[in-house]
Amino acid sequence: LGKVLSLLREWDHGDRTVRSRMLNTFLTTNTGKTFYELEMEFAQVASLFLARLSTWMRLYMFGTFLGLQLKAVGVFLSASSDQYLMEFTEDGGVLTLLDIVSHSQSKEEDKAEALRLLVTVSDAGRKYKEIICENHVKVIAEFLATSNTDESQETASAFLESLSHGNPKYQDQIYKNLIALMTCSSPKAQQLVLHNLRTLQLKLKSAHHGIVEPLLNMLRSLHLEVQNEIDLILDLKCYDVKTLLLTGLVSLLKPIK
Tell me the mean pLDDT per 10 residues along the chain, length 257: 90 92 95 94 92 90 87 93 91 91 86 93 92 80 84 90 92 92 92 94 92 93 88 91 94 85
Query: Going by C-beta distance under 8 Å and a sequence separation of 6 or more, which residues neighbour residue 59?
Result: none
Task: Give the C-alpha separation, 96 to 8, whole Å.
Answer: 23
Containing H/E element for 138? helix 138-146
**Domain 1-135: which CATH class?**
mainly alpha
Closest CA to 193 of 142, 248, 249, 149: 142
Inter-CA distances, 224 with 107, 180, 187, Å? 30, 21, 9
162-191 pLDDT tens trace: 999 999 999 999 999 999 999 998 999 999
Task: Give the C-alpha separation, 66 to 241, whole Å.
Answer: 46
Using alpha carbons only, what angle is made at residue 89 by residues 142 and 141, rounded to the nearest 5 degrees? Answer: 10
pLDDT at 46: 93
Task: Give the C-alpha separation, 139 to 143, whole Å.
Answer: 6
Closest CA to 77 of 128, 139, 18: 128
pLDDT at 75: 96
- Residues counted in the chain: 257
Task: Give the C-alpha separation, 95 to 101, whole Å.
Answer: 10
Task: Give the C-alpha separation, 142 to 154, whole Å.
Answer: 13
Q: Where are the domains of the chain?
A: 1-135, 137-256
> Residue 170: helix, strand or coil by DSSP?
coil
